[in-house]
Amino acid sequence: MTDPKTKIDIIEDADATGEIAKVYDEWRAQSGREKLPGILKCFSHRPDFLREVMSFSNVVHFSEGHLTRRTKEAIASWVSWLNRCPY
């Protein structure tokens, strides 16, 4: 069901079945969070691609590198606040 605020037909958590439900559950298990972000739901019709996006995101956002994970989380939180987007 499409959220009236989006133009993309996303599959909500409650409506997820089959492979996409498995991917959503994998994300919840890895993140420790309950609600899947809308940005990830944009790929809900391609579970195979969503898995790749999640893998890439984990490497880019949550690995140690030039910036620490703590710094990356702080930047992400600040940008989300500036955009009035829940993080």
pLDDT tens for each residue of 9-25: 899 999 999 999 999 99
Domain membership flag for residue 27: yes
- Comparing 29 with 1, the larger pLDDT belongs to 29
Residue 5 clears pLDDT 70, i.e. is over it: no
User: Per residue in 31-56, pLDDT tens?
Assistant: 888 988 888 999 999 999 999 999 99
Question: What count of residues does the chain have?
Answer: 87
* Spatial CA neighbour of 77 closest among 65, 68, 86: 86
Domain membership flag for residue 21: yes
Return the pLDDT at 84. 86
**Averaged pLDDT for residues 68-87:** 85
Global pTM value:
0.73
Domain membership flag for residue 8: no
Give the integer Cα–Cα distance in Å for 10 and 20: 11
- Give the three-state DSSP class for 42: coil
> How many domains, the chain?
1
Domain membership flag for residue 6: no
DSSP assignment of 44-79 equals: TT-HHHHHHHHHHHHHHHHS-SSS-HHHHHHHHHHH
Structural domain range at position 18: 13-82
